């Protein structure tokens, strides 16, 4: 396991805050209320460990396949439905949405390999990530990857806690399947828009792993 580069600054600030709080606690509190000083230490240590855990990047054997759509994020499948995409395709698409809790790995990966033909950041609201309107009203970053005649749209969507979406792709870039696409800080959601008729290989409420779980099979 490694720590994602997006977490270096946050973890450094967290470590400094941990040290400062506990030094003050030890100096001003421990002599009179040792139990309280110990409680402060345990609580702040738990927060720091959670922060480190949030930015973890576990070692994995990544999945690939020419006709496969690989899950772009860790989390739970919360939506499988047909929708009308108003942003790029402007027609009917199959949407699969993955909810990412704060405990999940938050690195995002490319569901297919190919060329990036669309990349757009949208300012927006911070509705809870499982809200139906979060796909179109929340802060989000959309990218479209083209491989042959297939185009897949992936939306990184901010949730109620998330305030920063990072996307590393640019138009014209050639990307590899399951390679890193970006990162979302704290609770969030990722939508994948697929062609109608795509075979879905996951079920509602299924727990999935980014870069590992096969989300769907293209025809």
Percentage of the chain modeled with pLDDT above 70: 90
- 144-166 per-position pLDDT tens digit: 999 988 999 999 998 666 567 89
Domain count, the chain: 2
- For the cut 90, the answer to whether the pLDDT of residue 174 exceeds it is yes
- 183 in the same domain as 112: yes
In a domain, 9, yes or no: yes
Q: Can you give the C-alpha Rg of the chain in angstroms?
A: 20
Q: Name 153's bridge partners.
A: 144, 193
**Active-site residue set:** 188
Tell me which residue has tokens 């040290």: 19
- 169 in the same domain as 81: yes
8 A C-beta contact, residue 64 and residue 150: no
- 78 in the same domain as 49: no
- 73 in the same domain as 52: no
In a domain, 26, yes or no: yes
- 43-71 per-position pLDDT tens digit: 999 999 998 998 999 999 999 998 999 99
Q: Which domain holds residue 155?
A: 68-217
- 78 in the same domain as 48: no
CATH of the domain at 211: 2.70.70.10
Mean pLDDT of 197-212: 96
Domain stop point among 32, 57, 82: 57
- For the cut 60, the answer to whether the pLDDT of residue 88 exceeds it is yes
pTM of the model: 0.87
- 144 in the same domain as 90: yes
One-letter-per-residue 3-state SS of the chain: CEECHHHHHHHHHHHHHHHHHHHHHHHHCCCCCHHHHHHHHHHHHHHHHHHHHHCEECCCCCCCCCCEEECCCCEEEEEEEEEECCCCCCCEEEEEEEEECCCCCCEEECCCCEEEEEEEEECCECCCCCCCCHHHHECEEEEEEEECCEEEEEEEEECCCCCCEEECCCCCCEECCCCEEEEECCCEEEEEEECCCCEECCCCCCEECCCCCEEEECC
- 135 in the same domain as 177: yes
- 6 in the same domain as 93: no
In a domain, 62, yes or no: no
- For the cut 80, the answer to whether the pLDDT of residue 94 exceeds it is yes
């Amino acid at each position: 396991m490694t720590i994602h580069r997006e977490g270096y600054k946050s973890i450094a600030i967290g470590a400094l805050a941990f040290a400062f709080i506990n030094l003050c606690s030890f100096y001003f509190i421990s002599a009179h209320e040792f139990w309280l000083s110990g409680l402060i230490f345990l609580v702040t240590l738990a927060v720091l460990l959670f922060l480190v855990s949030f930015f973890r990047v576990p070692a994995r054997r990544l999945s690939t396949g020419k006709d496969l759509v690989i899950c772009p994020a860790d989390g739970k499948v919360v939506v499988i439905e047909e929708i009308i995409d108003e942003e790029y395709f402007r027609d009917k698409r199959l949407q699969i949405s993955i909810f990412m809790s704060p405990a999940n790995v938050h690195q995002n990966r490319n569901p297919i390999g190919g060329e990036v033909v669309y990349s757009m950041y949208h300012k927006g609201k911070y509705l809870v990530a499982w809200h139906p309107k979060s796909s179109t009203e929340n802060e989000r970053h959309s990218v479209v990857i083209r491989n042959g005649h297939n185009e897949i749209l992936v939306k990184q969507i901010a949730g109620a806690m998330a305030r920063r979406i990072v996307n590393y792709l640019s138009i014209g870039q050639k990307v590899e399947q399951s390679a890193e696409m970006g990162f979302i800080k704290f609770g969030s959601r990722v939508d994948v828009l697929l062609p109608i008729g795509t075979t879905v290989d996951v079920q509602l409420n299924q727990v999935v792993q980014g870069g590992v779980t096969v989300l769907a099979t293209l025809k």
